[in-house]
Amino acid sequence: MLVQSGFSLEQLKTFVLVAEVGSFSQAGRKLGKAQSAVSLQIQNLELDLNIQLFDRSGRYPKLTPEGEVMLEEARYMLARARHMNDLATSLQRHRLTELVIAADEMALQPDFDPILCRLAGAFPQLKVTLRYPVLADVAHTLQAEQAHFGISLHMPRQYGDLEVLQYQPTRLIYVAAAGHPLAQEAMLTVDQLSRHRQILVSARNQQGSDWQAAPSCWFVENIWGAVELCKTGVGWTIVPQYAARNAIAEGKLVHLQATRGKFERMAATDLLWPRQYRRDPVVKWLVAAFTQSKSAR
C-alpha cells in the first residue's frame, strides 16, 4: 500500500488497464475479476485522488483531461515499482546494482560499445558509470575501490592483487600534423623523432613512460587532447589508430613513415577486476563477453 496517498499499486494497474482497453468489462476479463469489482476499484481511486478519471456518459468509459494526466503518472509509478522489485531481487542475489568501468581509451577495441549495448539488455536495471583513466590510473582506480572492472594497456607492475585476463592487442600509431617537418620525411628513424617535441598521453600523477622518445614533451591525460594538440603542429604523438583515423582521412594528420613501413606498435591489453568481484554475475558476464569477442576475431 502507498499509505501516504491512500491508493494501491493494484488500483493503479487496474486504472492503466481500463484506459488501455477502453472497457471495464474487458479489463475485468483480463484481470479475472467481475466488471463490478473493476468499477469499484476505479471509483475508490477517484475518491482517493479527488479526481474524476473517466467520463462515463457514453457507452464506454473515456478518460477525462485530468485522467490523461494521471494515466502518465500511474504508468511512471508502476515502472518505478517494477524497478524497485528488480533492485530487491538483485540485492538478494548479491549482484552489483551499480557498475563502474574504468576504461583506458588507449586500450579500447571496436567491440567495446557493442558489448555495452548487450550489457544493457542483459541487466536492464543496472546503473553504469564509465570512467576513462589512462595507463597506470586504471589499476589505481580499481585498487582504490572506485571501479569494479577495467580495461588497461598491459602494465603488470601496477596490478598488485587484481584479477587479470589478457585481452587482445591494440594498434598504436605515430602521427603528426600534415605541415609538421616529420610528415615531410619518407624514412624516419627514432633518432629523428627524438629531435621534435612529443605529445605524450600520461597518467595523472606520472609524467613520462616507456613510450617517451623525445626529451621535449608535453603531457596530456587523454587521447583526444593529444590528437587535437597534434593537429596544431605543436608536436607528434602516439595514439590508437581509431582515434586518428578521421583526422588522417581529412588530411589533418599523417601516419609517420619509418624506414620499414609505417611507425606503429601493437600493445598488449588486459581485463582487470578486484578479487572480491570474481563471482559477481555482472563481472562474470563482462569477462565472458570480452573473451568471446576476442575468440571471434
> All 3 cell numbers of residue 38?
473493476
What is the reported pLDDT for 2?
40
Q: Is the pLDDT of residue 130 over 90?
A: yes
Residues 5 and 149: their CA atoms lie apart, in Å, by 42
The residue ranking higher by pLDDT, 215 or 293, is 215
The pLDDT tens digits of the residues spanning 142-186 come to 999 999 999 999 988 888 889 999 998 999 999 999 999 999 988
Please state, for a pLDDT cut of 70, what percent of the chain lies above it.
92
What is the reported pLDDT for 207?
58
> All 3 cell numbers of residue 276?
572480491
Give ∠ CA 128-102-197 in degrees, rounded to 5: 140
Q: Which amino acid, 205?
A: N
Q: Is the pLDDT of residue 3 over 70?
A: no
Model confidence band, residue 4 (pLDDT cutoffs 50, 70, 90): very low
Q: Is the pLDDT of residue 274 over 80?
A: yes
What is the reported pLDDT for 152?
93
What is the reported pLDDT for 155?
86
Smallest CA-to-CA distance from 293 within 116, 77, 68, 94 is with: 116
pTM assigned to the model: 0.65
Residues 233 and 213: their CA atoms lie apart, in Å, by 17
Fold type of domain 170-267: D-Maltodextrin-Binding Protein; domain 2 (3.40.190)
Half-sphere exposure of 5 (CA within 13 A, CB side): 14
Q: Mean pLDDT in the chain?
A: 88
Is 18 within 8 Å of 7 (Cβ atoms)?
A: no
What is the reported pLDDT for 157?
81
Query: Residue 98 forms beta bridges with which residues?
Result: 127
Model confidence band, residue 195 (pLDDT cutoffs 50, 70, 90): very high
Is 135 within 8 Å of 155 (Cβ atoms)?
A: yes
- Are both 9-92 and 170-267 of the same fold? no
Residues 254 and 154: their CA atoms lie apart, in Å, by 27
Smallest CA-to-CA distance from 289 within 115, 125, 134 is with: 115
What is the reported pLDDT for 1?
36
What is the reported pLDDT for 202?
86
Q: Which CATH architecture has domain 98-163+272-296?
A: 3-Layer(aba) Sandwich (3.40)
Half-sphere exposure of 242 (CA within 13 A, CB side): 9
The residue ranking higher by pLDDT, 187 or 146, is 146
Mean pLDDT confidence for 25-39: 89
Smallest CA-to-CA distance from 226 within 191, 218, 183 is with: 218
Q: Is 72 exposed, middle or buried (0-12, 13-18, 19+ CB in 10 A)?
A: exposed
The residue ranking higher by pLDDT, 246 or 1, is 246
Model confidence band, residue 241 (pLDDT cutoffs 50, 70, 90): very high
The pLDDT tens digits of the residues spanning 61-120 come to 999 999 999 999 999 999 888 878 766 665 555 567 889 999 999 999 889 999 999 999
Mean pLDDT confidence for 258-275: 87
SS3 86: helix
Specify the CATH number for 9-92; select among 1.10.10.10, 1.10.760.10, 3.40.50.620, 3.40.50.11540: 1.10.10.10
* Structural domain boundaries in the chain: 9-92, 98-163+272-296, 170-267
- Tell the residue number behind the cell numbers 582515434, with chain if given: 243
Mean pLDDT confidence for 35-64: 91
